[in-house]
Chain A
Amino acid sequence: MKKRTRTRVYHYTVYAVIVALIAWAAASTDWPTVAKQFANPEVALKMLPGIITVGLKNTLLFTVESFLGGLILAIVLALMKLSSIPPFRWAATVWIEFFRGIPALMTIFGFALMLPIALHVKVPGGPVGAATLGLIVVSSAYMAETIRAGIQAVPKGQTEASRSLGMSSMKTMFFIVLPQGFRIIIPPLTNEFVLLLKDTSLFFIAGATPLTYELTTYARNGLSTYANATPMVMAALLYLVVTIPLTRLTAWLERRMARER
């Protein structure tokens, strides 16, 4: 047998095995039960529109809040890390290493349950407000390093040109360096947004009321109410409706930036 023929036979064999496996799985699946348990129109109708108007809405709201809050905090942390004053650098490093090093679930738990007990403070917004604060802190620790890298990627000549025009170091940072740095880090920041979107599913640890359920909790509630997995499938699809366009957008931005260089 020729080498080319041999390769072809090998490929067809692999395809045949894969097709056979799928066919076997499809044949041995109990389709009526699957349809009833995972794609039940009756249950789906009962979940609508709440899973969107409450679940998805809250997930998006918490994500945007955590992202924006985290972004502002991350800019401060990045500037502290680049500061010429050592205690600023140390404090930022401790913050970043600590909150990147423990699970997000624990940080949210800490803000929602430990902090109020320890400090006798009431976080505005109740458990959900505390959970949001926790996620802001988590995202700030992740984004700080990204922003620092973005700032450092801006050529030194830009700072020199700005300073030589008499612009202060503060104005140089905000008008010249940060806008250019942010352009460079839009793709990693979009990824961070997607990660945060999924991390809002950790809010359950803080405890919530039906109106503040985010998507996963809302779906889990439906799961136990109707003893049916359809709500979870719906939630998964709704996550994908948001995340896939975002990751596609990131890929497109990365390609465009690669072309510009």
Chain B
Amino acid sequence: MSTDLINLSAPAIDIQGLVKHYGDNEVLKGIDLTVTAGEVVCVIGPSGSGKSTLLRSVNMLEDPTDGKIVIEGIDITDPDVDIDRVRARIGMVFQSFNLFPHMSVLGNLTIAQRQVKKRGKTEAEKVAKEMLERVGMGHKADAYPSHLSGGQQQRVAIARALCMNPDMMLFDEPTSALDPELVGEVLQVMRSLADEGMTMLVVTHEMGFAREVGSRLIFMDGGHILEHGDPREVLSNPQHPRTQDFLSRVL
């Protein structure tokens, strides 16, 4: 099977000429982006710029209209690729957390380990508890998602993704649905992940996080990548007029 041809010397994510239409609406107009292992790439831009669609294309939650997405050497736009096996190596964190409300925190963290990784109950729970400790939620293993704050839910969601031992993590505006005082705890977890060398692609409005943690910053608008470079550089000295305009509004 083609998924056995994982090539770890290939870039983690290699996007080539990605185009996405919804009917007549062209959301992505030819995106090229390479993320090497260990990089933390932050994507910023106004709403409707296509940044979420780009992120969601990386694990095929959006079906690209044209172009290629190559994950660790595997072209996942090839219909013969077993997408489930590739997805198991890509962690994803959503704006609205999307925890499974009918399961306890432990259930949320073990279901995919058991069904996809085929781990036994004991091993899956051991991994789950380890990951919960890592995000500071070890004391809530038996709680149900509805009893947790937004920040706690998002940290559990990150732990859930980590349980699959992913090679990379995608974050789709992970703090945008949080009350301001809860943003910090989630960013803290993301920062420690980055420090441990996790490959991360992060769509965010948190410019502070992008500046301090990001190894690269991408500015998107109208379905194009308009600017691209060192986060400090881009944030303090934007070149493109659209970037200047956007940053003057948000900073």
> Chain A interface (Cβ within 8 Å of chain B)?
155, 157-158, 160-168, 171, 175-176, 179-180, 183
Q: Interface code B49-74, partner A: CB below 8 Å = 1, 0 otherwise?
A: 00000000001010000000000000
Q: How far is the CA of A183 from the CA of B100 in the complex (A)?
A: 13
User: For A162, what are the chain B residues with a Cβ–Cβ distance below 8 Å?
Assistant: 100, 112
* Leading 8 A-B pairs by shortest Cβ distance: A166-B88, A165-B112, A161-B98, A164-B92, A157-B98, A166-B116, A166-B87, A166-B84
Known: A165-B160, A168-B84. 15 other contacts (CB 8 A): A157-B96, A161-B94, A161-B100, A161-B157, A163-B87, A164-B87, A164-B92, A165-B88, A165-B112, A165-B116, A166-B88, A171-B116, A176-B111, A179-B102, A180-B100
**B59 lies within 8 A of A164 (CB):** yes
- Can you sample 19 A-B contacts with CB below 8 Å? A157-B94, A157-B96, A157-B98, A160-B92, A163-B87, A164-B87, A164-B90, A165-B88, A165-B161, A165-B164, A166-B87, A166-B164, A167-B112, A167-B115, A175-B115, A176-B111, A179-B102, A180-B101, A180-B102
Please tell me if B85 contacts chain A, counting CB pairs below 8 Å: yes
Nearest-CB residue, chain B, relative to A182: B102
- Point out which of B91, B92, B112, B164 has the most chain A C-beta atoms below 10 A from its C-beta: B112
Chain A contacts for B89, CB-based, 8 A: 166
- Name which residue of chain A comes closest to B160, CB basis: A165
Query: How many of B's residues come within 8 Å of A, CB to CB?
Result: 25
| Chain B residue at smallest Cβ distance from A179 | B102
Chain B 28-56 interface residues, beta-carbon cutoff 8 Å to A: none
Chain B residues near A176: list those with CB within 8 A.
Answer: 100, 111
Whole-angstrom distance between the Cβ of A168 and the nearest chain B Cβ: 5
Q: How many Å from the CB of B188 to the closest CB on chain A? A: 22
Which residues in B have some Cβ–Cβ distance to A below 8 Å?
A: 59, 61, 84-85, 87-92, 94, 96, 98-102, 111-112, 115-116, 157, 160-161, 164
Given contact pairs A166-B112, A167-B115, A175-B115, A160 touches B84 in the complex (Cβ within 8 A):
no
Residues of A within 8 A of B96 (CB): 157
Find out whether the CB atom of B115 lies under 8 angstroms from the CB atom of A171: yes
**CB–CB B98/A160 < 8 A:** yes
B96 closest partner in A (C-beta): A157
Q: Which residues of A contact B85 (CB under 8 A)?
A: 166
**Which residues on A sit within 8 Å (CB–CB) of B99?**
161
Q: Could you tell me the distance between the alpha carbons of A19 and B162 in the complex, rounded to whole angstroms?
A: 73
- Whether the pair B115, A164 counts as a contact (CB closer than 8 A) is no
Q: Please state if B112 and A163 are interface contacts (CB–CB under 8 Å).
A: no
A183 to B103, CA, bound (A): 13
- Which B residues are CB-close (under 8 A) to A157? 94, 96, 98
Nearest-Cβ distance from residue B43 to partner chain A, whole angstroms? 17
Q: Which residue of A lies closest to B86 (CB)?
A: A166
B95 closest partner in A (C-beta): A157
Tell me the bound Cα distance from A163 to B85 in angstroms: 10
List, in ascending order, chain B residues with CB within 8 A of A179's CB: 102
In the bound complex, how far is the Cα of B163 from the Cα of A165, in angstroms? 9
Provide the bound-state CA to CA distance between A168 and B85, in Å: 9
How distant is B121 from chain A, measured CB to nearest CB, in Å?
A: 15
Residues of A within 8 A of B88 (CB): 165-166
Cα of A155 to Cα of B97 in the assembled complex, Å = 12
Question: Which chain B residue shows the least CB distance to A161?
Answer: B98
Our pick among B87, B98, B102, B157 for the contact of A183 (Cβ within 8 Å) is B102
